[in-house]
């Protein structure tokens, strides 16, 4: 089985982590946990993008050095990922020494191959802000920040020969329908490439907070620092030891799936593949541009004061419910919306009523009727049609999940799992264990309870990637110990519970929200 490599964008540290960052990282974590659980060798990379002028300025405003500032903010990201149970295999920072070395080595290699050249950059420059702006950013020739007059300035800079890759890129995207996902975004990318690619300025001299260009044997008038995007994109290579440990790198590259928001798709579906082509490296299997999360249908912004703080939601609903909501409510690839009403509705109906209640009532009945110990029963498969129905759907569920996960349809995976959860609840209603107990039909009662326990075990197993800590609690209640990072294939079958296995104490998992 080919190892799996999953990446998220690396986040800017000029802002604290918000729901958008959480969304991408949660999706990546779900995929990573799923693949690990099903026996794959997985490397999951996330991290922070720490260079550039914005950081330099933010640090200055706070009276800190850029390094001090990034060291502070990075802790906020790490802390949120801990709370959200993000199980990345490396958290990369662009200030990490090994990353810096890779960026400089790549710059030199691409320069030596003729894809980087020294040229002249011309743009509208604001002297007080020390920033270039594009024509569209500059309203009436004024600086969008300080509203002062902008000057047309020219300076030497290094360029990446993006134009050289235009036809190869187009050909690649055309012949690889799975490269840019979802399909709607693929068309966007193709028409962007068709409209023509200009060479990209990849150095800045007006900043100090960045990676300096390496020694390449060219005399320059000023010091040059590598542009943040050229630096940042290379994290996907340095994160798996490119140029440091070839064997390790070869295991994981090309990446299986690179997740990112639709706003930064062009960087990942045009510039990034061109950089890889310049390095003679294969392109990732999938670059997935997901949609945006809105707040009750509106775009979130600081000025509107409607930015959702992940901590507030986690405080009210718990990290797992938050993970569940984002994966269930937002179809991967489309935009989605958060509202308290929807969140509460999902929490109460799916998590509390359907899944939580299924486990709680089953364990309570097991305690009441069998002292929490799995009974011996004479009934076997084939004796009872409705039990067989539950068993077949639950067992077939894995095949469906494999297919849907392969298409990154996480919301559909959850839909399928919850169908089986509802079917299990219905099975309980139909079989009415309380009537069987009253009638003294202990054999049948035992059989029914075992069927439900098996269904609970399986649906909860499939929910592990989405809600890891709740599933650990469920398994504790079932007294099953399993290593979720590598589950035995036999465990995905039915017939796990054996007579005299004992179950733990039932504890409510999702107390209803009013």
Which positions touch ligand MSP (CB under 6 A)? 9-12, 20-21, 23-24, 49, 232-233, 235, 260-261, 263-264, 292-293, 300
Residue 260 or residue 471: which is nearer to ligand MSP going by CB? 260
Q: How far is the CB of 45 from ligand MSP (least distance, A)?
A: 11
Residue 260 or residue 343: which is nearer to ligand MSP going by CB? 260
Residue 23 or residue 160: which is nearer to ligand MSP going by CB? 23
Q: Compute CA distances 137 → 58, 59, 121, 192, 356, whole Å.
A: 20, 24, 17, 20, 51
Q: How far is the CB of 381 from ligand MSP (least distance, A)?
A: 46
Residue 11 or residue 355: which is nearer to ligand MSP going by CB? 11
Q: How far is the CB of 25 from ligand MSP (least distance, A)?
A: 9
CB 239 within 8 A of CB 255: no
CA–CA dist 167, 175 (Å, integer): 12
| Residues sharing a CB contact under 8 Å with residue 45, sequence separation 6 or more, in sequence order | 5, 6, 7, 8, 88, 89, 90, 92, 235, 236, 239, 240
Q: Compute CA distances 170 → 15, 173, 189, 195, 270, whole Å.
A: 35, 5, 9, 11, 9
Q: How far is the CB of 9 from ligand MSP (least distance, A)?
A: 4
Dihedral class, residue 257 (left if φ above 0, else alpha if ψ from -120 to 50, else beta)? beta
Residue 197 or residue 300: which is nearer to ligand MSP going by CB? 300
Q: How far is the CB of 504 from ligand MSP (least distance, A)?
A: 38
CA–CA dist 239, 149 (Å, integer): 42
Tokens matching residue 426: 């219905």
Q: How far is the CB of 312 from ligand MSP (least distance, A)?
A: 15
The 3-state DSSP class for residue 5 equals strand
Residue 24 or residue 238: which is nearer to ligand MSP going by CB? 24
Helices (H) and strands (E) in the chain, counts: 20, 14
Q: How far is the CB of 272 from ligand MSP (least distance, A)?
A: 8
Residue 264 or residue 331: which is nearer to ligand MSP going by CB? 264
Place of tokens 């002292």: 371
Residue 21 or residue 36: which is nearer to ligand MSP going by CB? 21
CB 100 within 8 A of CB 107: no
CA–CA dist 486, 465 (Å, integer): 12
| 261, 266, 272, 277: CA torsion to nearest 10 | 140
DSSP 204-262: ESS--SSPBP---S---SS--EE-HHHHHHTHHHHTTTTTT-HHHHHHHPSPSEEEEEG
Long-range interactions of 125-132: CB distance < 8 A, separation 24+:
125/150, 125/151, 125/152, 125/153, 126/150, 126/151, 127/151, 130/53, 130/206, 130/207, 131/53, 131/206, 132/206
Q: How far is the CB of 232 from ligand MSP (least distance, A)?
A: 4
Q: Which residue is nearest to ligand MSP (CB)?
A: 261
Residue 21 or residue 185: which is nearer to ligand MSP going by CB? 21
Q: How far is the CB of 281 from ligand MSP (least distance, A)?
A: 16
Q: How far is the CB of 337 from ligand MSP (least distance, A)?
A: 10
Residue 20 or residue 468: which is nearer to ligand MSP going by CB? 20
């Amino acid at each position: 089985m080919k190892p799996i490599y999953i990446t998220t964008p690396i986040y800017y540290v000029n802002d604290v982590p918000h729901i958008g960052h959480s969304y991408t990282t949660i999706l990546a974590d779900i995929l990573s946990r799923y693949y690990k659980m099903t026996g794959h060798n997985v490397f999951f990379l996330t991290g922070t993008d720490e260079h550039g002028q914005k950081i330099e300025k933010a640090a200055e405003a706070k009276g800190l050095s850029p390094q001090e500032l990034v060291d502070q903010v990075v802790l906020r990201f790490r802390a949120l990922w801990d709370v959200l149970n993000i199980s990345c295999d490396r958290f990369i920072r662009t200030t990490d020494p090994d990353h810096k070395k890779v960026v400089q080595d790549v710059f030199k290699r691409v320069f030596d191959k003729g894809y980087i050249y020294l040229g002249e950059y011309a743009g509208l420059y604001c002297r007080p802000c020390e920033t270039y702006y594009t024509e569209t950013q500059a309203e009436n020739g004024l600086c969008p920040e300080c509203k002062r007059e902008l000057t047309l300035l020219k300076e030497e800079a290094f360029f990446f020969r993006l134009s050289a890759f235009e036809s190869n890129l187009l050909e690649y995207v055309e012949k690889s329908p799975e490269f840019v996902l979802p399909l709607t975004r693929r068309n966007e990318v193709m028409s962007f490439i068709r409209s023509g690619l200009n060479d990209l300025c990849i150095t800045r001299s007006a900043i100090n907070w960045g990676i300096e260009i390496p020694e390449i044997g060219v005399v320059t008038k000023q010091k040059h620092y590598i542009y943040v995007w050229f630096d940042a994109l290379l994290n996907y290579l340095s994160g798996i030891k490119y140029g440091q440990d070839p064997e390790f790198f070869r295991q994981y590259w090309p990446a299986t799936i690179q997740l990112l928001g639709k706003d930064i798709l062009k960087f990942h579906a045009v510039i990034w593949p061109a950089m890889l082509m310049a390095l003679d490296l294969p392109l990732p299997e999938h670059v997935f541009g997901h949609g945006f999360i809105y707040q009750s249908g509106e775009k979130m912004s600081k000025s509107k004061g409607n930015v959702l703080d992940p901590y507030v939601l986690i405080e009210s609903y718990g990290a797992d419910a938050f993970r569940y909501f984002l994966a269930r409510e937002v179809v991967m690839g489309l935009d989605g919306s958060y509202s308290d009403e929807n969140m509460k509705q999902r929490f109460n109906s799916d998590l509390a009523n359907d899944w939580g209640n299924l486990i709680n009532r089953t364990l309570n009945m097991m305690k009441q009727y069998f002292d929490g110990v799995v009974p011996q029963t004479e009934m076997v498969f084939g004796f009872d049609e409705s039990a067989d129905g539950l068993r077949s759907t639950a067992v077939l569920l894995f095949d469906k999940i494999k297919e849907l996960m392969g298409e990154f349809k996480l919301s559909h995976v959850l839909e399928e799992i919850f169908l089986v959860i509802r079917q299990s609840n219905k099975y309980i209603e139909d079989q009415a264990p309380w009537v069987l107990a009253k009638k003294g039909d202990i054999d049948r009662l035992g059989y029914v309870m075992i069927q439900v326990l098996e269904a609970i075990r399986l649906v909860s197993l499939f929910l592990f990637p989405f809600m890891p800590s709740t599933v650990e609690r469920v398994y504790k209640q079932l007294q099953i110990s399993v290593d979720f990072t590598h589950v035995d294939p036999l465990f995905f079958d039915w017939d796990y519970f054996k007579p005299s296995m004992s179950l733990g104490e039932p504890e409510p998992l999702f107390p209803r929200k009013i």
